[in-house]
A and B are shown apart, each in its own frame.
Chain A
Amino acid sequence: MPILETENIIKQYRQYDHTVTAVDRASIKVEAGEFIAIIGASGSGKSTFLNICAGLDRPDSGSVRIRGNEITKMKPDELGRFRGTFIGFVFQKHNLIPQFTALENIMLPTVMLNKDAYHFEEHFKKLVKALDIEDRLDYLPSELSSGQAQRVALARAMINRPQVLFADEPTGSLDRANADEVLELLLSMRELTGQTIVMVTHDLLIAERADKIYRMSDGKLSLYKDENGYRRNSYSDALETAKELQN
């Protein structure tokens, strides 16, 4: 059974007097432990699709199943608990709560689910060590560099040992060195926990590290590279994608 399965997701927005289709009948199947990258130009609908997959947004139609659970039909509070238990999310901007220290931000999911902190002690220690933020735990987000803040955000997303980690351009606001570092961390954590990663990115170099690459264009999702490395696109398509991503 795929850990994530979407079927004909449609999401439209009303903009002034016309309707924009952000996601147009997007379907995807992700097996447990896979690393999936979604690439596409700005405004192509990839973040919207990722938000829908992670249950942060509701589609207008279509279904999203995680571990066989239909999340689009869940009530808000039920979905919240499900998100906290099985899903981790990393934003492009760290989205840390400014009044909380790094430690408090990391432990936020446990607070939200009323879980005792000591259950996560071992995992927490491993995480902060792997992410190299042990000496920054008492700092406020405003006192952290963007790389450190993003690593704290990563720790927050992973503290509950989620089975699926969604990342929306987690390296988008970082320089090359920091971006590579974060990616390495993500992959090493994946090695550690065996979780599934679905990542939206602009960066083809990062996308190349994924098991599969999907391309989003005008809300339509298509497979760009499968697990065998076979590119299912014509040369011109590939060129166009590269140009889009460069822009």
Chain B
Amino acid sequence: MSNFRRDIRLARKNVFYDFRAFVWFFFAMFIIESFLSCATLSALNGKNAAYKSAEKNFDYHIAVKNANLAQYDLLANDLAAKYESVKYYDVVRCAAQDENMPSGSRCDIYIRFRGDVLSSYSRFTRSFHDSLRQYDPKGNWYIYKSPLLTVLSGGAGDAVGGVLFIAAASVLCVFFLRTMYGIRTTGFKFSYGVFMTCGGGFGKIYSSSFYEMTLIALITFIPSSVVSCTALKIIYSAAGFAFSASGWGFIISLGLTLIVSCVSLYTPCKKVSRRTPVQNLTAEDNSDYAKSPRRSFEFWRVKIPLKYELASLFRFRKYYIVLVAVCTLFASVYALSRCVSELYLEKIALPEDDCVICFDTSEPDGEGKNEAEENGQTVDRYYDLEADRSVGSIEGIKYIHKVYETRAGDILSHVAVDTDAVSGAVDTIKTPDGREEVFNDAVYLPYSDAEIAYLSGYSYDGDLNSAINNGEILICDTLYGKRSFEILPGDTIKIAVFDTQRRYIDPSLTGTDLLKRQLKACDFTYMEYKVGAVIHDMPCGGEMKIFIPEDEYRPLCGLDEIEYRRVEIGYLDEIDSDQADRLEARISGALAGYGNAKISGVHSSAELESELSRNIYALLRITSVILLLAVPVMWIFSQMTFCYKRGKEFSVLEYIGLGKKTVFKLLTVDSLVTGAIGAALYTIISLAGCSALRYLANRFLTAGGRITYYSAAKPAMIFCGVCVLMISAFAGSAAAYHNYKRNIGPKDRLNVNVEFGE
């Protein structure tokens, strides 16, 4: 215990005696703690906030949709619902699907669980699922989980996300602190040399360093907690979420800070302890560079600073490379975090579907269907014209998007466009006359009049209404979010319809090889279509989307009927959660005869999702700014430490006639060059990184082909990073010069050890 007290005292003395040298560690620790607190508190608060937000719109955990009276009786009169002593759920309400429907035919039963919601839900499923099915074996009843339940049950995914975010934050913090402490152990190695002479080894150096950082972490803990709490409170309030700072969050973030310190100090301390005590005690003397005829430069000429300092930059290239690389890395992480936040913003801005209807893929049975209909039973059917009319007549619906697609390659078809029309990276084959390009990376989609509202949600050229009225085709000109075709409204494209096969086609062929073979082995009829409108921002992956009127789509794809298995419905913007619930009930009622239709109301959960995304967006922005703050801290601290070591060299120059201002010029040259290199690297990395992120997002995160991301590195963001790098570089040199100027005169200075602490 007394040893521990002595170690703590040793750390306290180290920190506070040379406070000017340690003040940068206070800043660094403040940044690290704020960053980790934001990550931890946000991860812990995320689920709580989402639950509280969901509670505003939902008073139930599940809804048994489209239930019949027998099912209602089962749930409402069960012991578990009736007797207070065994109650684990309440029937919140029971709503008839449609006010026009005869009372008691079908209804939605809203249930809220008591106690541990997840275990109550699991008990409910075990107890009732089979019985409910027994009461209505063919009915299209189903259990809808409200976001209130999904928020709770989605914990594993959220927890993994939170842990990953915290882990990434911790890795960055380790890198930051490791670099800072590495600079310190190089600049302040004298004390370590004395420790080692007196019998200290790695253990002692490491423990004293750890206690130093722990002391600083404890001092900066309260300010950083206040700052991170305030920032999160603002973020959550703006998104309409509740925020409560969990005590565990603070403890975890402090624990993480100590773990970060523990990990980051290991390498610098190991490096110091591997040197001999003499190497640590002996200060590096750069003054011989100034006076050695082999290494001196023309410093009597006018261009002393530029020439001399450029040579100095080369002499100390290893140090400057590390400094610029680390600072550029942090600035780039800032830019990439901003870019990811912009991607989130695009996701938030995307209009979400409010209701999705999925039809079971089992084949509708013609005879059985008629028989069942006659008996008044529900049957398996696809989304047909009748359903379209029923659903389309419901007020409050903005659009109905029927999802169906056929790949060109699957029906031995391909597309031919003018050679000039291809501008992106598409695998094409030139026709023998060289005027057209042929490709089969295309998807054909049917459309009807009802799709205008859906399609008009995207940006497009041309007149969508007249295109649809005239039965013209619509195309998307982007692939992976990048414009790849130069096709304008009014242009024509040809679509090949397979006629006959004359020769054998190897089934293992794919892509353009397959197309080449098809062109040789098959006969095609080319149908010429006029392009009515060109849609720009619809996500297309690597295949061109071509919307074809339903009437022409069927013969083109060889279909008698288009079997829509998925329908996406959007509500009018003014529809609130209650109205959305009623609309959903009406849609459910309209499709009551479709036994295989599963209706999922996603209106409120989409809103919740959007709020969560907004929260992540804000969190990314705040953490990116915190990361950017690391750049000036590191640069200034590093320059001050390094230039202190160069003090003797500057003193030699000053002694032979150079003024202090010239020393300042030397350092200014230094800052301008290194800052400019850092800024250039940052710009390149940010531009390339943002493009790569956009490409990856468009490739893998299109939410089933619904989103196209367009975020690129914004000029303001690049400018901000460049400014921070340049200002940090200049401030580093200015601080180093200020430090030098404040010290004793050159004559005295030449006689002292240039090491810190002497």
List B3-23 residues whose CB lies under 8 Å from chain A.
Answer: 3, 6-7, 10, 13-14, 17-18
Known: A77-B273, A104-B13, A114-B3. A99 touches B18 (CB 8 A): yes
Q: Nearest chain B CB to A211's CB is how many angstroms away? A: 25
A112: interface (CB < 8 Å): yes
B134: interface (CB < 8 Å): no
- Given the complex of chains A and B, what is the CA–CA distance between A58 and B201 in angstroms? 16
A77 touches B201 (CB 8 A): yes
B201 touches A51 (CB 8 A): no
A116 touches B2 (CB 8 A): yes
Query: Considering only CB atoms, which chain A residue lies closest to B191 in the complex?
Result: A97
A99 touches B14 (CB 8 A): yes
CB contacts (< 8 Å) of B197 on chain A: these are 56, 83, 89, 95
CB contacts (< 8 Å) of A114 on chain B: these are 3
- Given the complex of chains A and B, what is the CA–CA distance between A91 and B753 in angstroms? 14
- Given the complex of chains A and B, what is the CA–CA distance between A80 and B193 in angstroms? 11
B202 touches A76 (CB 8 A): yes
A156 touches B13 (CB 8 A): no
A81: interface (CB < 8 Å): yes
A-B contact pairs, 14 of them (CB 8 A): A16-B294, A56-B196, A56-B277, A57-B276, A57-B277, A58-B276, A83-B199, A89-B197, A91-B281, A97-B757, A99-B17, A99-B757, A104-B13, A117-B2
- Given the complex of chains A and B, what is the CA–CA distance between A93 and B274 in angstroms? 24
Scoring B residues 194 to 211 as 1 if CB is less than 8 Å from chain A, else 0, what string do you get?
A: 111111111110000000
- Given the complex of chains A and B, what is the CA–CA distance between A113 and B18 in angstroms? 25
Known: A56-B278, A99-B18. A77 touches B2 (CB 8 A): no
CB contacts (< 8 Å) of A40 on chain B: these are none
Q: Nearest chain B CB to A144's CB is how many angstroms away? A: 14
A84: interface (CB < 8 Å): yes
A108: interface (CB < 8 Å): yes
B84: interface (CB < 8 Å): no
B203 touches A111 (CB 8 A): no
B13 touches A99 (CB 8 A): yes
A57 touches B2 (CB 8 A): no
B560: interface (CB < 8 Å): no
- Of the candidates B198, B757, B758, the one whose C-beta lies within 8 Å of that of A112 is B198
- Given the complex of chains A and B, what is the CA–CA distance between A25 and B258 in angstroms? 49
A112 touches B202 (CB 8 A): no
Query: Considering only CB atoms, which chain B residue lies closest to A96 in the complex?
Result: B194
Q: A56-B196, A80-B199 are in contact. List 20 more A-B contacts (CB 8 A).
A: A56-B281, A57-B279, A58-B276, A76-B202, A80-B196, A80-B200, A83-B198, A83-B277, A98-B17, A99-B13, A99-B14, A104-B13, A108-B194, A108-B198, A111-B10, A112-B195, A112-B204, A114-B3, A116-B2, A117-B6
CB contacts (< 8 Å) of B3 on chain A: these are 111, 114, 116
- Given the complex of chains A and B, what is the CA–CA distance between A95 and B18 in angstroms? 17
CB contacts (< 8 Å) of A195 on chain B: these are none
A219: interface (CB < 8 Å): no
Q: Nearest chain B CB to A94's CB is how many angstroms away? A: 10
CB contacts (< 8 Å) of B14 on chain A: these are 99
Chain B CB count within 10 A is highest, among A85, A95, A160, for: A95
A57 touches B198 (CB 8 A): no
B276 touches A98 (CB 8 A): no
- Given the complex of chains A and B, what is the CA–CA distance between A156 and B18 in angstroms? 22
Interface size on A, residues (CB 8 A): 32
Query: Considering only CB atoms, which chain A residue lies closest to B2 in the complex?
Result: A116
CB contacts (< 8 Å) of A81 on chain B: these are 199, 201
- Given the complex of chains A and B, what is the CA–CA distance between A122 and B199 in angstroms? 21
- Of the candidates B7, B17, B198, B202, the one whose C-beta lies within 8 Å of that of A84 is B198
B2 touches A109 (CB 8 A): no
- Of the candidates A76, A99, A108, A113, the one whose C-beta lies within 8 Å of that of B273 is A76
Interface size on B, residues (CB 8 A): 34
- Given the complex of chains A and B, what is the CA–CA distance between A16 and B202 in angstroms? 31
Known: A97-B191, A114-B3. A57 touches B199 (CB 8 A): no
CB contacts (< 8 Å) of A80 on chain B: these are 196, 199-201, 273
A139: interface (CB < 8 Å): no
Q: Nearest chain B CB to A119's CB is how many angstroms away? A: 11
Chain A CB count within 10 A is highest, among B2, B197, B276, for: B197
- Given the complex of chains A and B, what is the CA–CA distance between A156 and B199 in angstroms? 12
- Given the complex of chains A and B, what is the CA–CA distance between A98 and B6 in angstroms? 17
Query: Considering only CB atoms, which chain A residue lies closest to B198 in the complex?
Result: A109
A100 touches B202 (CB 8 A): no
List A36-76 residues whose CB lies under 8 Å from chain B.
Answer: 51, 56-58, 76
B202 touches A98 (CB 8 A): no
CB contacts (< 8 Å) of B191 on chain A: these are 97
CB contacts (< 8 Å) of A112 on chain B: these are 195, 198-200, 204
B757 touches A113 (CB 8 A): no
- Given the complex of chains A and B, what is the CA–CA distance between A156 and B197 in angstroms? 11
List B169-228 residues whose CB lies under 8 Å from chain A.
Answer: 190-191, 193-204
- Given the complex of chains A and B, what is the CA–CA distance between A214 and B198 in angstroms? 26
CB contacts (< 8 Å) of B194 on chain A: these are 95-97, 108
List A94-131 residues whose CB lies under 8 Å from chain B.
Answer: 95-100, 104, 108-109, 111-114, 116-117
Q: Nearest chain A CB to B671's CB is how many angstroms away? A: 29
List B264-317 residues whose CB lies under 8 Å from chain A.
Answer: 273-274, 276-279, 281, 294
B278 touches A77 (CB 8 A): no
A100 touches B277 (CB 8 A): no
Query: Considering only CB atoms, which chain A residue lies closest to B195 in the complex?
Result: A112
Known: A76-B201, A112-B198, A116-B3. A100 touches B13 (CB 8 A): yes
CB contacts (< 8 Å) of B193 on chain A: these are 95
CB contacts (< 8 Å) of A100 on chain B: these are 10, 13
- Given the complex of chains A and B, what is the CA–CA distance between A104 and B208 in angstroms? 15
Q: Nearest chain A CB to B86's CB is how many angstroms away? A: 63
- Given the complex of chains A and B, what is the CA–CA distance between A81 and B196 in angstroms? 9
CB contacts (< 8 Å) of A77 on chain B: these are 201-203, 273
B7 touches A111 (CB 8 A): yes
- Given the complex of chains A and B, what is the CA–CA distance between A95 and B197 in angstroms? 10
- Given the complex of chains A and B, what is the CA–CA distance between A81 and B198 in angstroms? 9
Nearest 6 interchain pairs by C-beta: A84-B199, A99-B17, A80-B201, A77-B201, A112-B200, A109-B198
Q: Nearest chain B CB to A60's CB is how many angstroms away? A: 13
- Given the complex of chains A and B, what is the CA–CA distance between A160 and B194 in angstroms? 15
- Of the candidates B13, B200, B201, B278, the one whose C-beta lies within 8 Å of that of A57 is B278
- Given the complex of chains A and B, what is the CA–CA distance between A57 and B279 in angstroms? 8
- Given the complex of chains A and B, what is the CA–CA distance between A156 and B195 in angstroms? 11
Q: Nearest chain A CB to B3's CB is how many angstroms away? A: 5
- Given the complex of chains A and B, what is the CA–CA distance between A55 and B198 in angstroms? 11
- Given the complex of chains A and B, what is the CA–CA distance between A116 and B202 in angstroms? 20
List A114-172 residues whose CB lies under 8 Å from chain B.
Answer: 114, 116-117, 156, 160
Q: Nearest chain A CB to B2's CB is how many angstroms away? A: 6
CB contacts (< 8 Å) of B753 on chain A: these are 93
Q: Nearest chain B CB to A62's CB is how many angstroms away? A: 15
- Of the candidates A85, A98, A117, A160, the one whose C-beta lies within 8 Å of that of B757 is A98
CB contacts (< 8 Å) of B758 on chain A: these are 98
CB contacts (< 8 Å) of A56 on chain B: these are 196-197, 276-278, 281
Query: Considering only CB atoms, which chain A residue lies closest to B7 in the complex?
Result: A111
